[in-house]
Amino acid sequence: MAGFFNAVSACLVLLLLMAVGYFMGARGWMTTAEKKFLSKYIINIAVPANCIVGLLNNLDRASLARAGMQLLSVLLGVGVTLLLSMGIAVLLRLPRERWGVFATMAGLSNVLFIGIPVCTQLFGEASMPYVMLYYLGNTTFLQSAGILLIERSGNRGRKPEGPGRFLLDVFAKPPILGVLAAIAMLAMGVVPPGPVMRFAGYISNTISPLALIYCGFILYEVGLKNLRLLPGLPTMLVVRLAVAPLICWWCGRLFGVEGLARDVFLVESALPVVSQVTVMAGAYGADEEYAATGACLSILGCFVTLPVLMLIIG
């Protein structure tokens, strides 16, 4: 029961932080300009600093070998969930402008803006290496299959891209570069100077509150009165918040993932819709309102399902 009450307490803190973003939007103190700034700051500066601090403080050379098997379990779990979501989208006979959006929403989770605050609240800073491993697997599918699915749902095509461009899109992202830099330093036994680590620590500590304020402002933008269960969204919520962690658990058992890594992966797999889906839907001419509504409903839904998940995993 301790895990359940810890999760309820953590969710209450998260809701209060999101309420700050909603309140700032309602008062006009935060606009789309500030939202854009927060997104760029978190992804390009705060998360890379968090990767370096989290991995160097909580991993060593001996744990790098285990990290390879853990990453494989993440890749398989996300891949299977995405394939299942595509099949369900076909069975539901969703219109073209929603088909790829549904599959991407159900298949991929919000590892950064929701995942980091949730896992640090539930498990502490020791969870960060496993959060970053899950992010690496999740973003690989987002930048490949996710973009392709949403593009095919939209009416604004893009120029064909080769494998070189795909690899650049994935591995040139600051969070991934932060992960790779930290892994390289671990392998070589290099530790950055104390002032550098303290600086990275200060920057890292800003992620959780700012990410949740960002999510609260998104709820304000969509409007709580406009949230409704559009066709397919109830099924999407079941897959995203309940089926995905079951698939993750099975893949973890297959690859022998146990302990804190297993618990972090389970929580990461049961998180809301990845925030980039709404942005990509608008960019490619897919159903942006459908994506935004699904994202907001999944944020609210996870505050019910997460305590139950913590009760199950103990």
Average pLDDT of the segment spanning 2-25: 82
pLDDT band at 192 (very low <50, low <70, confident <90, very high): confident
pLDDT tens digits, 2-12: 667 777 777 78
pLDDT at position 266:
95
pLDDT greater than 90 at residue 85: yes
CA distance 186 to 198: 18
For residues 283 and 289, which has the higher predicted lDDT (pLDDT)?
289
pTM for this one?
A: 0.83
Task: Name the average pLDDT for the chain.
Answer: 84
Average pLDDT of the segment spanning 19-30: 92
pLDDT at position 167:
65
Which residues neighbour 282 within 8 Å (Cβ) at sequence distance 6 or greater? Answer: 288, 291
pLDDT at position 40:
84
For residues 242 and 112, which has the higher predicted lDDT (pLDDT)?
242
pLDDT greater than 80 at residue 26: yes
pLDDT at position 58:
73
Q: Which domain holds residue 305?
A: 2-313
> Domain holding 79: CATH number?
1.20.1530
CA distance 116 to 124: 10
pLDDT greater than 70 at residue 48: yes
pLDDT tens digits, 210-244: 878 887 888 888 777 777 888 899 999 999 999 99
Least confident interval from 55-69, 82-96, 119-133, 200-214: 55-69
Give the count of domains, the chain. Answer: 1
pLDDT greater than 90 at residue 206: no
